[in-house]
């Protein structure tokens, strides 16, 4: 299983068709079809080809596994999964248009070129031949012995297929990217031909400092209509958010401090007795009965204790007490219970998981898993060499490649307690069976050695949390605020929030399946998105939300609804306002020059308090005074020598110029070298631009919101 284990150990390589458990319907599909106009198992289409719920779920599942492996949040990956599926479908369609077919023979002939395999030496023999037959044999064994692992391979294969199709498509199309002789000659001419100019630049930023220009919604809309391809929009919502966190007050802080002090040395405890943390005879029971943080019976190294204890335990006596001290949002008192050198253990294991175990994808029952583990344990007891063969059945990713090793651990390692208990109670060379929340482990203790000093510390902690009075005050502020903004404009909503010094955010293009709202990030984000996308929702609607567990309050205001089509002007104001303002400034500047009937650069420079400058420009790399200005270069070669140009609307300002002369400065290199460099440059830019063009011009139907809304209504 060496090759398949390598695949399973690197889930971050699965970058094609990748996964989303979005619509886990608990309704009979036959009855759903009668209720819905669209099949709820089809979430959309790309040029008529279906995107099914099953492949959508697979896509998200792998994305979530990647996120877990990399320590990133698993929430909010739905939109990424959708986009990856759309792109995969487009690639597949182009692959088939070119006359190719993803047959089994094609797959096995091309798999060695996939990124998952091409740079991994273990997939090739000493002669450089890909181990195709060995991989096929392992897959067949997996199919017969580990259905869960085989199912994962099938998903991996689908991912690889899409990447192989993309490789073939890009290879064929990019092979057609060439530069003709005439084109190369013209580009060389543009490179070598220079125009010497005098010019005046009226800089937009400088002009706008002196002249106020307001960009209206209509101005933004006009710009969007002039550039429709750039502003194709998916459904989104403009949402105003005001957040009222339930933060502990100074009185709450003082109450927590008073409570910890009483438990530490007071005359009575929580049950009315005279026991306290200093005189208790049972530290663990006292902590379990009175602390907001559970008792930890493990030994920890000195560098892993709370900041308030750093540097104090090394010289402390057993029984010594520290505190009270503040640690984040807790008041803490700590007592050193014991200290000793902790052994380090080297171990390896075989994991047999079952359905319902933590992080498990297995479908077998717990009873079936126990039966397999017992049988395998009996074999290994009779012949320890069987451990290596048993690794093929392990549900731990990469078990074969790592020989099942988990490396060196100590009692302080972040491992399942059942696993650590086995290591603590068994000598070097021992092999046995242990159960954890992950399943059944056949563990072999390979080695043990004395480790560093460890400390067992009892922590009595009291959380500094908002009282009922504090939460009531937060709730009061939020409800007063929502009453104040009822029926008001969004500007009123913003102004009242700012006047109250409340926490405000405004995600302007929130999508239904984003998972999280920019500027918020609570467990309520998904519910707020569902509220905003409800088909009954209208602009100006408001709603009140309470975050479970924290008591935080959220007031949401629907400021805009963007349906599929051209982007709502206000939703993209932040992106284009500067561009539109510059265009309006350019028109004003040009009109002023025309009205003044200016006849020379000096007159224009004086009008706008600017200066006359000189530059040398070419068409291929049109840099003017440090800015790329192709329109200025075009004007320089388009006017007669000595003639004043019309105002030119550049990217950074309005230019007026006079051409003094044209010269030719032949650069080194022949036509062949230049042609090759241009072709290489165009090839490098092609892939991303071509993919974007495919997506911009595709007929993409997205039914997710419609299906979700109908399902929600049905459940209600």
pLDDT in tens, 165-176: 988 888 787 766
Max Cα-Cα span within the chain: 103
Give pLDDT tens digits for 112-165.
888 777 767 777 777 788 888 888 888 888 788 778 778 878 887 888 888 899
Ordered DSSP codes for 83-146: HHHHHHHHHHHHHHHTT----HHHHHHHGGGSHHHHT-GGGB-TTS-B-HHHHHHHHHHHHHH-
Q: Which residues 6+ apart lie within 8 Å of 55 measured at CB?
A: 17, 85, 158
Q: What angle do CA 11, 415, 321 make, to 5 degrees?
A: 140
Given a contact cutoff of 8 angstroms between Cβ atoms, the answer to whether 224 and 567 are in contact is: yes
Whether a cis peptide bond, with omega within 30° of 0, leads into 324 is yes
pLDDT, position 712: 52
Integer CA distances (angstroms), 378 to 381, 400, 423, 432, 626, in order: 5, 20, 20, 10, 77
Choose which CATH entry (3.40.50.720, 1.20.910.10, 3.40.190.150, 3.10.50.40) describes domain 249-465: 3.10.50.40
What is the rounded distance in angstroms from the CA atom of residue 107 to the CA atom of residue 84?
A: 21
60 Cβ partners below 8 Å, 6+ apart?
A: 18, 19, 20, 21, 22, 77, 78, 81
Helix H or strand E segment including 209 = helix 204-210
Residue 713 host element (H or E): helix 704-715
Q: Are 589 and 608 in contact (CB under 8 A)?
A: yes
User: Of 626, 446, 25, 506, which Cα lies nearest the Cα of 241?
Assistant: 506
Regions of the chain with pLDDT less than 50: 1-36, 269, 713-716
Please, are residues 639 and 195 in contact by the beta-carbon 8 Å criterion? Answer: no
CA distances from 580 to 219, 329, 394, 583 (A): 7, 48, 61, 5
For residue 684, list its beta bridge partners: none
CA 530 to chain centre: 20
Please say whether the beta carbons of 28 and 699 come within 8 A: no
Which pLDDT score is estimated for 5?
Answer: 47
Neighbours of 35 (CB within 10 A): 12
Rounded Cα gap, residues 5 and 313, in angstroms: 44
Q: pTM of the entire structure?
A: 0.55
Q: If you ran DSSP here, which 8-state letter would residue 224 be given?
A: H
Between CA 559 and CA 409 the distance in angstroms is 54
CB distance 33 to 21 below 8 Å: no
| CA distances for 671 relative to 180, 617, 663, angstroms | 11, 22, 20
The CATH architecture one would assign to domain 192-232+575-664 is: Roll (3.10)
Phi and psi torsions of 453, nearest 5°: -65, 135
Question: Contact at 8 Å (CB) between 420 and 437?
Answer: no
Q: What is the dihedral of CA 140, 143, 149, 155, to 10 degrees?
A: 80
Contact yes or no for 443/424 (Cβ under 8 A): no
**pLDDT at residue number 10:** 43
Q: Is 588 within 8 Å of 213 (Cβ atoms)?
A: yes
Nearest to 114 by CA among 69, 84, 159, 81: 159
How do residues 540-550 score in pLDDT, each as one tens digit?
999 999 998 78
- Which pLDDT does position 14 carry in this prediction? 36
Contact assessment for residue 343 and residue 454, using Cβ atoms and an 8 Å cutoff: no
What does the pLDDT read at residue 148?
A: 78
Point out which residues pair with 615 in neighbouring strands: 197
3 state DSSP class of 229 = helix
Give percent of the chain above pLDDT 70.
90
C-alpha 653/C-alpha 658 separation (Å) is 16
Rounded (10°) angle between helices 671-697 and 78-97? 120
């Amino acid at each position: 299983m060496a090759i398949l284990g390598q695949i399973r150990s690197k889930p971050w390589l699965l970058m094609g068709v990748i996964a989303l458990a979005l619509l886990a319907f608990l309704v009979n599909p036959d009855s759903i079809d009668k209720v819905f106009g669209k099949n709820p198992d089809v979430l959309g289409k790309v040029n008529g080809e279906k995107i099914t719920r099953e492949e959508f779920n697979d896509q998200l599942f792998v994305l979530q596994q990647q996120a877990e492996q990399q320590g990133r949040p698993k929430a909010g990956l739905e939109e990424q999964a959708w986009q990856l599926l759309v792109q995969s479908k487009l690639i597949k369609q182009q692959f088939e248009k070119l006359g190719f077919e993803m047959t089994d023979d094609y797959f096995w002939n091309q798999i060695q070129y996939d990124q998952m395999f091409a740079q991994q030496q273990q997939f090739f023999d000493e002669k450089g031949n890909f181990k195709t037959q060995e991989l096929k044999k392992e897959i067949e064994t997996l199919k017969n012995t580990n259905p869960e692992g085989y199912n994962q391979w099938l998903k991996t294969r689908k991912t690889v297929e899409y990447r192989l199709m993309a490789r073939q498509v890009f290879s064929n199309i990019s092979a057609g990217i060439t530069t003709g002789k005439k084109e190369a000659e013209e580009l060389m001419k543009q490179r070598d031909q220079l125009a010497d100019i005098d010019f005046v630049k009226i800089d937009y930023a400088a002009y706008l400092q002196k002249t106020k220009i307001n960009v209206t919604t209509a101005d933004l809309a006009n710009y969007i209509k002039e550039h429709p391809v750039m502003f194709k929009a998916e459904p989104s919502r403009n949402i105003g958010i005001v957040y009222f966190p339930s933060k502990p007050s100074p009185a709450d802080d003082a109450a927590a401090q008073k409570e910890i002090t009483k438990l530490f040395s007071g005359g009575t405890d929580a049950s009315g007795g005279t026991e306290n943390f200093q005189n208790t005879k049972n530290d663990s029971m006292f902590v379990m009965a009175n602390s907001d943080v559970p008792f930890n019976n493990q030994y920890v190294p000195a560098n892993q204790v709370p900041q308030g204890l750093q540097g104090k335990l090394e010289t402390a006596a057993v029984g010594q007490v520290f505190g009270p001290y503040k640690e984040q949002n807790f008041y803490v008192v700590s007592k050193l219970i014991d200290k000793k050198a902790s052994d380090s253990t080297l171990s390896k294991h075989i994991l047999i998981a079952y359905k319902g175990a933590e992080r498990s994808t297995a479908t077998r029952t717990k009873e079936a898993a126990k039966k397999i583990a017992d049988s395998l344990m009996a074999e290994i007891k009779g012949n320890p060499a069987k451990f290596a063969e048993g690794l093929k059945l392990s549900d731990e990713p990469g078990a074969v490649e790592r020989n099942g090793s988990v490396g060196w651990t100590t009692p302080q390692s972040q491992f399942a307690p059942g696993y650590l208990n086995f290591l603590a109670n068994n000598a070097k060379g021992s092999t046995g069976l242990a159960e954890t929340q992950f399943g059944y482990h056949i563990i072999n203790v390979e080695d043990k050695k004395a480790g560093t000093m460890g400390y067992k510390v009892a922590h009595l902690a009291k959380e500094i949390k908002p009282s009922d009075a504090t939460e009531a005050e937060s709730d009061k502020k939020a409800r007063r605020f929502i009453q104040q903004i009822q029926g008001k404009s969004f500007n009123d909503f913003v102004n009242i929030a700012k006047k109250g010094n409340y926490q405000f955010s405004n995600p302007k293009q929130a999508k239904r399946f984003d998972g999280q709202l920019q500027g918020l990030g609570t467990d309520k984000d998904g519910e707020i998105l569902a509220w905003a996308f409800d088909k009954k929702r209208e602009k100006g609607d408001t709603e009140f939300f309470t975050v479970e567990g924290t008591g935080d309050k959220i007031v949401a205001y629907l400021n805009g609804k963007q349906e599929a089509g051209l982007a709502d002007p206000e939703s993209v104001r932040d992106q284009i306002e500067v561009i539109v303002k510059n265009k309006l400034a350019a028109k004003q500047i040009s009109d002023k020059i025309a009205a003044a009937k200016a006849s020379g650069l000096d007159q224009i420079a004086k009008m706008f308090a600017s200066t006359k400058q000189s530059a040398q420009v070419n068409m291929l790399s049109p840099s003017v005074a440090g800015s790329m200005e192709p329109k200025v270069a075009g004007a320089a070669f388009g006017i007669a020598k000595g003639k004043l140009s019309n105002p030119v609307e550049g990217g950074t300002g309005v230019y007026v110029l006079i051409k003094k002369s044209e010269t030719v400065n032949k650069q080194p290199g022949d036509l062949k070298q230049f042609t090759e460099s241009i072709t290489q440059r165009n090839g490098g830019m092609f892939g991303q631009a071509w993919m974007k063009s495919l997506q911009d011009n595709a007929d993409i139907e997205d039914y997710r919101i419609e299906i979700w809304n109908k399902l929600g209504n049905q459940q209600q």
